């Protein structure tokens, strides 16, 4: 049986406590995972501090950029291993893992290698009315040892989205992937070893949240900052822990994202885009559109077309070229999603498609599948329209005016993403800017430029990462102010 061990201070560490890592396609066991105990997390954090006070703390941005590029190259070289591990842990189709998850893992390192080398420091010349002059410039320094906690839906992409900028800024990290998806993070530790990252700079610990590695990291007095991606409720627990030492936090949390479709949109392009926005990764992307508002003149046409496309969606084995949708991540998550299907019935929803569990007649019947599902006819304050489901489901509703749909789309405690479909340029600008979200797409969805701010408002998170926003979170900035003598002394 494959073993996923912890990587601490440049060494692979076993643990007596182990848990099984399951393949959600058929429930089979992929590997045994060694759960880090409190002592292991303690050792990892101490190793991080030793690395920073040692040679790693004296590396230049150029040296770190070179290392990050080598990490990216090594991920590319081992792409087949990464793909196999990601698909085994998540059941996601090859078509997705090979175009999004693994390439983005490498791209995250390249993006922050470029940024740390090319982002200028701030500099201001001061001229005060009393004649005093000064030169101000900022110095970028690492925060220290950063705790990184990530979820299971885009395992390598989201893990490296935080590891890469943290290392670029010269920090050491103690990073915990989700207990559901330990595979690619373990391969990344192998990559760190191969490229010769100094011991203690990247530490990997496996485990769960409460009373396990997650909590041991977030409550540790010597962790200098915490960056977390996951559920909004978990964010609350971590915020409590971080409050104790007034630790900087960056949170990327849940969403209940709206899509707004105007009758003047390019219908076919919109339909392709919406199939992706609703069902990519079986709806397990924080940015997925779970609330779809359609202008009344095309509402029926949209419902019919979407329903047909959903009926044609191919659920299958990850390696089949035809597969478009995989399973949910776990038995527990499937229970949650199915409970929302049931709630939708109780709240009076009309099911246009799905609502059940598919039957395959093979080993997949032991996996964690649900049908892609479309519902309608709920009121905007139904629980199914206010709570994040995080599965392959959307609710469709008609609207009549622009002002009405803006108000309805913004009627949520979340504020992560929105997508607007229209051919009217003025309306595109008006509506997209009016969305109270961190990410507002027009005629597109999940189109990313890694230099742009990423994050959410309200229950969807705190802060922004991406580009210089990441560099600023993972750095301590010191302003140096030098008074300049106006006249040379004689």
Q: Which is nearer to ligand NAD, 10 or 254 (CB)?
A: 254
* Cβ atoms of residues 334 and 367 within 8 Å: no
Subset of 432-451 contacting ligand 6OD (CB under 6 A):
448
Q: Which residue's CB is nearer to ligand NAD, number 215 or number 224?
A: 215
The answer to whether residue 253 forms part of the interface with ligand 6OD (CB under 6 A) is no
Distance, CA of 266 to CA of 443 (rounded, Å): 9
Q: Could you say which residues in the range 128-187 bind ligand 6OD, by CB under 6 A?
A: 153-154, 158, 161
* Segment near ligand 6OD (CB under 6 A); pick from 195-203, 283-291, 315-323, 364-372: 283-291
Task: Please report whether residue 286 would count as binding ligand 6OD according to CB under 6 A.
Answer: yes
- Residue ranges binding ligand NAD (CB under 6 A): 149-153, 158, 176, 178-179, 208-210, 214-215, 218, 229-231, 234, 237-238, 252-255, 286, 388, 390, 416, 456, 460-461
How many angstroms separate the CA atoms of 271 and 205, rounded? 42
Exposed (0-12), middle (13-18) or buried (19+): which is 440, by Cβ within 10 Å? middle
448 interface partner picked from ligand NAD, ligand 6OD, none, CB below 5 to 8 A per type = ligand 6OD
Nearer of residues 299 and 390 to ligand NAD, judged by Cβ: 390
Q: Are 380 and 258 in contact (CB under 8 A)?
A: no
Confirm if 297 and 267 have CB atoms less than 8 A apart. Answer: no
Of the residues 35, 252, 290, 388, only one is catalytic, namely 252
Catalytic residue among 84, 86, 215, 286: 286
Sign of CA dihedral 407, 408, 412, 417: negative
Residue 176 binds: one of ligand NAD, ligand 6OD, none (C-beta under 5 to 8 A by kind): ligand NAD
Return the residue of 279, 399, 454, 474 that touches ligand 6OD, per CB under 6 A: 454
Burial label, 484 (beta-carbon count in 10 A; 0-12, 13-18, 19+): exposed
Angle of helix 102-118 relative to helix 183-195, nearest 10 degrees, comes to 50
Task: Give which of ligand 6OD, ligand NAD, none residue 419 binds (C-beta under 5 to 8 Å, depending on kind).
Answer: none
To the query of whether residue 295 is one of the catalytic residues in this protein, the response is: no
Min. distance of Cβ 293 from ligand 6OD in angstroms? 21
Closest CA to 341 of 326, 331, 353, 332: 353
Q: Minimum Å distance from CB 333 to ligand NAD? A: 7
> CA of 284: how far to CAs of 154, 428, 467, 473, in Å?
9, 27, 25, 26
3-state secondary structure of 226: strand
Whole-angstrom distance, CA of residue 29 vs CA of residue 88? 9
Q: Which partner, ligand 6OD, ligand NAD, none, binds residue 461 by CB below 5 to 8 Å per kind? A: ligand NAD
Min separation Cβ 200 and ligand NAD, Å: 22
Q: Minimum distance between the CB of residue 435 and ligand 6OD, rounded to whole angstroms?
A: 17
Is 390 one of the binding residues for ligand 6OD (CB under 6 A)?
A: no
Q: Which does 219 bind (CB under 5 to 8 A by kind): ligand 6OD, ligand NAD, none?
A: none
If the CB atoms of residues 214 and 466 are measured against ligand 6OD, the closer one turns out to be 466
Rg (CA), the chain: 24
Nearest of 329, 391, 16 to residue 182 by alpha carbon: 329
Residue 403: CB atoms within 10 A of its CB come to 10
Q: Which residue is nearest to ligand NAD (CB)?
A: 209
Of residues 107 and 303, the one with the C-beta less far from ligand 6OD: 107
Active site residue 465: no
Q: Which residues contact 196 (CB under 8 A, 6 or more apart)?
A: none
For the chain, how are helix, strand and coil distributed in percent, rounded to 5?
Answer: 40, 25, 35
Q: Which residue is nearest to ligand 6OD (CB)?
A: 286
Residues contacting ligand 6OD: total by CB under 6 A: 9
Q: Any idea which residues carry the catalytic annotation? A: 252, 286
Contacting residues toward ligand 6OD, per CB under 6 A: 153-154, 158, 161, 285-287, 448, 454
């Amino acid at each position: 049986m494959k073993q996923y061990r912890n990587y601490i201070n440049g060494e692979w560490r076993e643990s007596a406590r182990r848990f099984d890592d399951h393949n959600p396609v058929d429930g089979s066991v992929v590997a045994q995972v060694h759960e880090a105990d409190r002592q292991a997390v303690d050792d990892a954090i101490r190793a991080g501090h030793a690395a920073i006070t040692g040679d790693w703390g004296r590396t230049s941005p150029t040296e770190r950029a070179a290392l990050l590029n080598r990490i990216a190259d090594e991920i590319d070289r081992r792409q087949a291993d990464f793909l196999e591990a990601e698909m085994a842990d998540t059941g996601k189709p090859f078509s997705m893992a090979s175009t999004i998850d693994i390439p983005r893992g490498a791209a995250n390192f390249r993006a922050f290698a470029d940024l740390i080398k090319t982002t200028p420091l701030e500099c201001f010349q001061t001229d005060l009315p009393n004649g005093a002059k000064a030169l101000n410039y900022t110095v970028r320094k690492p925060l220290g040892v950063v705790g990184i906690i990530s979820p299971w839906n885009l395992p390598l992409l989201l893990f490296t989205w935080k590891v890469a900028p943290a290392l670029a800024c010269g920090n050491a990290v103690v990073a915990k992937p989700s207990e559901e998806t330990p595979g690619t993070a373990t391969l990344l530790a192998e990559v760190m070893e191969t490229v010769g990252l100094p011991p203690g700079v990247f530490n990997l610990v496996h485990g769960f949240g409460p009373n396990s590695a997650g909590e041991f990291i977030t409550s540790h007095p010597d962790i200098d900052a915490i960056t977390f991606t996951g559920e909004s409720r978990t964010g609350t627990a971590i915020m409590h822990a971080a409050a104790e030492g007034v630790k900087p936090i960056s949170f990327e949390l849940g969403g209940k994202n709206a899509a707004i479709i105007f009758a003047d949109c390019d219908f076919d392009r919109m339909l392709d885009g919406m199939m992706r926005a609703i069902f990519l990764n079986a709806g397990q992307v924080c940015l997925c559109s779970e609330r779809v508002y359609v202008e009344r003149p095309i509402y029926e046409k949209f419902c019919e077309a979407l329903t047909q496309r959903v009926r044609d969606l191919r659920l299958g084995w990850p390696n089949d070229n035809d597969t478009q949708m995989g399973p949910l991540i776990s038995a527990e998550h499937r229970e949650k999603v199915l409970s929302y299907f049931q709630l939708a019935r109780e709240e009076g929803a009309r099911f246009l498609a799905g609502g059940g569990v598919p039957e395959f007649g093979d080993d997949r019947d032991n996996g964690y599948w649900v049908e892609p599902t479309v519902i309608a006819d709920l009121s905007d304050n139904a629980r199914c329209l206010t709570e994040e489901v995080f599965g392959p489901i959307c609710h469709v509703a008609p609207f009549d005016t622009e002002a009405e749909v803006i108000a309805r789309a913004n009627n949520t405690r979340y504020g992560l993403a929105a997508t607007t479909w229209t051919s009217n340029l003025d309306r595109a600008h008006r509506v997209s800017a009016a969305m109270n979200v961190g990410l507002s797409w027009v005629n597109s969805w999940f189109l990313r430029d890694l230099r742009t701010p990423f994050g959410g408002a309200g229950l969807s998170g705190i802060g922004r990462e991406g580009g210089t926003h990441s560099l600023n979170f993972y750095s301590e900035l010191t302003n140096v102010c030098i008074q300049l003598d106006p006249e040379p002394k004689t």
